[in-house]
Structure 1
Amino acid sequence: MTLCVPRAGAPATAPVAVAVAAHLLDLVGEPDTASVGWEIDWQGPLTVPLADERAVQAACGIMHVHGRAAGRPAPLAVDYASTVAGVLAAQGVCAALLARAAGADVKRVRTSVGQAALLALAQYLAAATADGDDPGDGLPSPAGAGGGHAPTGCPFVSADGVRFELEALDAERWLDFWQLLGADRADTGRGWRSFQQRFATATCSLPLALSATVRRAPFTAVQSAADRSGAAVLPVREDPLPPTVTSPWTLTPFSGPGGTTIGRPRTSTDGAPLRGLRVVESARRVQGPMAGHVLRLLGADVVRVEPPGGDPMRGIPPMAGTTSARFSALNAGKAVTEVDFTTDAGRQAVRELVSEADVFLHNWAPGKAARLGLDADDLRPVRPGLVYAWASGWGDALGPEPPVGTDYLVQAHSGLAAAVRPVDEPPAPSLMTLTDVLGGLVCAHGVLAALLARLRTGRGGRVDSSLYSAATLVPRGPGGPVATDRPLRTRDGYIALGPQARERPGLLARALGLGPSAGADTIASRARTRPTTDWLPGLAAAGVAATPVCTSLADLARDARFAPALVVADHAAPRAPWEFS
């Protein structure tokens, strides 16, 4: 993405976030967006001093979750939290305009990079604060414990040196893939649970024997095994620059007329600008549910369509009451109806739900909607003016039969896996679900843009977005963090250092009681001799910004400084990250 220049008068507190928001608002193409004032700062209602992206990642838990697989907190080498904040700001402007159309008096919207980081971590935060044990929370365990996951997060390298990411959505494909490569069945079985749970825990410890197996096979053999077993493999791109994508979502207006009434008339806003709007959501995992979650936080009524017996994800520990904490993080507050799509009665039930809805969104596999008779053209006659949203993995970027579109494959192929790593590490996807979250947010923004277009034209439309297109929204360039950008280990934790430590390393050395020419190893050894709180006053006095790194999301949820942005019940959850006035 080419960053655009923020419009005149836009705040520049968080410049990357501002540029992302301005870019997305330009794509909306509605002149009235300029009439809503918007602001993005670093900390919002948090009482934690935050001054840049690294400080946000450190204090709000991103470094902790991203670094779990490596056994130590680690920064994402991209402005991920700022990108999320930019999307939130653009959503807020669109929602404010929809509220005005329903009679509300909304002039401004505000969000922050800190709140964006918490929203991006919603599932991990819920798991860490539920009744059950979350294997990923607390101080990271050493990389490779229990059989060896590569510290970079990508354990697979073929005999001819191709680094690749693997996806197998069920145990049968996983077992068949490894059997075709000659792996020991016991090793394959031991690795499945950790591999399956890596999306939820951001960790993955696999038997070293599996890595050894692929190191004996050329990539052509690996690809053949994937094709025959139904698994998917993709090489990890070494170029961090994203592919050229004009927009993270596309809107195709329908030809027929549609309704323009949004919500009920009102004269003020209560923080729910989409009140009265109805969304029908049929989605699983993260991307689609996140889109519905954002629309619900903005005030829409969201109805989830689940299979008979409910979504299987509801029962996956850790539990918060009777429901999975991770599931609850993105689906609490939504109404639920169970439907069997395989029957005519079930498909008719969906059409009846859509007949009273403003939005239908799903993240089904390519072709499923057409096979069910529930594609956009099938539902348009049911509800003139419908906004139909498909949140896919790849869109049309990889042709009509793309590989399965999941987070880590998209990170690998889009160059994001290379961009998030320091320059001295090989490219590898983060095990934090970066594109799942961003993909859901982008889908929700496309829906809001389509609803605004419906107000102006009287026509509904189809919104197409994907994990792949969302990944290209993250600004990046060649090069990553240097040694001083990594958290500094102290006796009892870690400190993330501000840019002064890079620009004037002598300041850091003197603040730690060393000579100005002390090297990185000497600085690291010195920092480990005292606890974090002992070092902070001296660093501040020396003019070196320093932020203690969160190493437990459960502790973060108990921190009074974060209370204005979190609600704690069966688990902790981020509050709606917008303030409307």
Structure 2
Amino acid sequence: MAVPVSRPLDGTVVRASGRSVAVRVAATRLRALGCAIETAGGPPPPDAPAGLLRVVRAPWLPGDRALPECRIGWSGPVAVPMGGERDVQAACGIMHVHGRATGGPRVLHVDYASVCAGVLAAQAVTAGLLAALRGGPAVRAATSVAQAAALALTQYVAVATTTDTGSGSSRPEPGTARTPPFRSADGVRFEIETFQAETWLRFWTALGAARPDIAAGWTPFQQRFATGTCALPPGLAAAAAALGYPAVRRAAEAAGVSVVTVNDAATPLPPAPASPWRLRPLPAAPSAQAAPRPDGPSRRDGGPLAGIRVAESTNRVQGPLAGHVLGLLGADVVRIEPPGGDPMRGVPPMAGECSARFLALNRGKRVVEADLKSLTGRDEALRLVASSDVFLQNWAPGRAARFGLDAADLAAVHPGLVHAYAGGWADVLLAPQPMGTDYLVQAHTGVAALLTPPGRPPAPTLMTIIDVLGALISAEGVAAGLLGAARTGAGVRVETALADAGRLLRETPAPGARAAGGTAPVVTDLAAMAADPAYAALFETDGAACYSRAPWTFTSPSEHDREER
């Protein structure tokens, strides 16, 4: 029976031990890829207190292949005892970053680090099976909720550990209004988004805000992704509160600003797609001939994706972090950047000659500069894609077609390609869609309401939880697409979105961060945490800043492990 590309784990059986959110999320993700899940009796082993995933059957692999597994811990290699989600949030800095906007550490009221760890564990199993299918050694993976938390905070740790102070304050000034979200005269809470100062000016001018307040608000609004704070002049909130929401929407549309309401956690979402990664065959191109892959240096010597090449054209957080995760799995990642390099390289604070935040998401990648608006640049990109296994992009809708680099164009040069698109809304909102950014997605999908303590109005966290989880889901989809391409011989399209991260947080049954753990110390200084020997296994440095290490370790199973199977 043919294997559908949307279910590349058909025929595979995994035995799952444990009841943590991390192991349940991982099992659900593997099941969606076609895997049958067996529940093991009894507690997980002592070296995997948050759960164990062990492949016990994969008849499509050669019979002499050992089968992969993934062990999930709480603290993992960190020398600080952690026994649950709350401990991890406290000891690894999540409470600190989440609480910056309100002046002190706060529990994030979803099991966020556990959900991230579950996606990372599913990735490890899928990538391990791909490695075995490609003839590589079997891998025994280990990850932890603490390692997932460190990866989620890598850009904040990089900023905290560089000596450049160009990013401004990371904390709000006492007594300032902490907005957005905003509240209109008719009681509607809403979030806005724009990356352009001109549209910001037009919007607030239309709302009647004073020019000094508009100017003073622009920098903290733009920096909220980096700082986790957004202390705006009170006059902006007052201007929003003077008008009803329909008038606010009209002003936003006229100015080119995106606006969405902050929805309740029970707000229904459209039905989930059949495949969480929208895996489907790449458009057929029978006459296409893939170019031979030239030999080149691998980014890393090991990892289950060693020998895989990823061509990436992405920006901001979601796309670059997805490529970075694939690199941490062993892939050779090549970024396509405009002539002169990505402008984000120069955004402070700097770690040496490059932005600390940019390095947190892109270090170790090779770079090819190409002007994709020109025929020469397009041809250069096509040559790179023709010699790659994956093309990853997060361009605005319609841009790929304008460049002549959409899925059909790429299938013509590489019919076996995995084409991955990391978008914003997918099918959650109809066109024309607002900008697909972290805080807008939190607001619309009801995640903001999940995060808010009872009795308080819902507000998104300014920690970029959706960008990070969306990146992990994108990388997860790429690993699944590679396995599907390897099993079927056909190219695969992978489409994920930030809205998928919102859906996953909404749909994950969780005991709640307040109910798990509660004894670990609360970190309030990311730089001190990164310098603490107890956390040495979580962070690495280039001498100018610190960044999270790979969130897994991979080893070959011992003979004893093979006998257990």
Residue 89 of structure 1 is aligned with which of 121, 127, 142?
Answer: 121
User: Is 1:27 aligned with 2:32?
Assistant: yes
What is the deviation of 1:104?
Answer: 2.3
2:172, 2:230 within 8 Å by CA — same for their partners in 1? Answer: no
1:335 is the counterpart of 2:366: yes
- Among 263, 279, 290, the alignment partner of 1:251 is 279
Counting only pairs closer than 5 Å after superposition, residues 157-172 of structure 1 correspond to structure 2 as: 157-172=183-198
CA contact (8 A) 1:412 1:429 kept: yes
Find the aligned partners of 1:499 and 1:441 in 2 and give their Cα distance: 24
Q: Deviations over 1:106-127 (max 9, x none)?
A: 1422110000000000100111
Q: Distance in 2 between matches of 1:97 and 1:339?
A: 35
For the residues of structure 2 that align with 1:283 and 1:398, how far apart are their CA atoms?
Answer: 22
Does the CA contact (< 8 Å) of 2:166 and 2:350 recur in 1?
no
Structure 2 partner of 1:376: 407
Paired residues of 1:241 and 1:419 also in contact (CA < 8 A):
no
Letter in 2 for 1:351: L
| 1:161 alignment partner, SS class | coil
SS at 1:280 equivalent: strand
Rate the CA distance shift 1:58–1:277 in 2: closer, same or farther, 3 A.
same
2:245 counterpart residue number: 219
Q: Give the letter aligned to residue 441 of structure 1.
A: L
Greater CA drift, 430-439 or 469-478 = 469-478
Q: Which residue of 2 aligns with 1:180?
A: 206
2:540–2:546 Cα contact (<8 Å) kept: yes
Letter in 2 for 1:95: A
Post-superposition Cα deviations, 1:186-242, rounded to whole Å, max 9, x if no partner, equal 110110000011011110110000000010000001000100000011000022567
Q: Percent identity?
A: 52
Q: CA deviation at 1:256?
A: 5.4
Distance of aligned partners of 1:90 and 1:446 in 2 relative to their CA distance in 1, 3 Å threshold:
same
* 233-242 or 442-451, which deviates more: 233-242
5+ residue gaps in structure 2?
1-12, 37-54, 58-66, 556-565
> How many residues align structurally?
506
1:365 aligns with 2:419: no
| 1:185 to 1:136, Cα distance in 2 relative to 1, 3 A | closer
Residues in 2 aligned to 1:68 and 1:379: alpha-carbon distance in whole angstroms: 44
The TM-score, its normalising length taken from structure 1, stands at 0.83
Partner residue of 1:559?
532
Cα distance in 1 for residues equivalent to 2:510 and 2:23: 22
Residue 197 of structure 1, aligned match among 223, 229, 237 = 223
Superposed CA offset, 1:482-503 (max 9, x none): 9xx5xxxxxxxxxxxx769xxx
Q: 2:463 aligns with which of 423, 432, 435?
A: 432
Q: Tell me which residue corresponds to 1:36.
A: 68
Residues 155-189 of structure 1: CA distance to partner in whole angstroms, max 9, x if unpaired? 40000000000101110000000011111111101
Shift of 1:103: 2.4
Among 536, 542, 545, the alignment partner of 1:571 is 545
Q: Deviation per CA, 1:405-430: give whole Å up to 9, x if none.
A: 11100000011010111112211111
- Report the TM-score, using the length of structure 2 for normalisation: 0.85
TM-aligned CA deviation for residue 400 of structure 1: 3.2
Instruction: Deviation per CA, 1:346-399: give whole Å up to 9, x if none.
Output: 111110111100000100001111111100001101112000011000012212
SS of 1:177 mapped into structure 2: helix
The Cα of 1:335 is off from its aligned counterpart by 0.6
Aligned counterpart, 1:522:
none
CA-to-partner distance for each residue in 1:11-42, whole Å, 9 max, x for gaps? 31x61010111111112225778543222110
Q: What SS class does the counterpart of residue 556 from structure 1 fall into? A: helix
1:74 to 64, 82, 106: 106
Equivalent residue for 1:11? Answer: 17
Question: 1:289 is aligned with what amino acid?
Answer: P
Listed as ranges, the gaps of 5+ residues in structure 1 are 1-6, 486-497, 501-544
- Give the Cα–Cα distance (whole angstroms) in 1 for the partners of residues 267 and 244 of structure 2: 27
Structure 1 residue 270 displacement after superposition: 6.2
Decide whether aligned partners of structure 1 residues 577 and 425 sit closer, same or farther in structure 2, where only a CA change above 3 A counts: same
- Which residue among 419, 435, 440 is the counterpart of 1:409? 440
Q: Is the 8 A contact 1:194 1:205 kept in 2?
A: yes
Pairing of 1:444-463 with structure 2 (within 5 A): 444-463=475-494
- How far has the Cα of 1:262 moved from its partner? 11
Residue identity opposite 1:552 in structure 2: D
Contact 1:407–1:436 (Cα < 8 Å) also in 2: yes
Are residues 1:325 and 2:331 paired?
no
In structure 1, the partner of 2:10 is none
Q: For 1:106-505, list aligned pairs within 5 A.
A: 106-133=138-165, 140-141=171-172, 144-145=175-176, 148-150=177-179, 154-240=180-266, 243=269, 244-246=271-273, 247-254=275-282, 255=284, 271-475=302-506, 485=514
Displacement after TM superposition at 1:10 (Å): 1.8
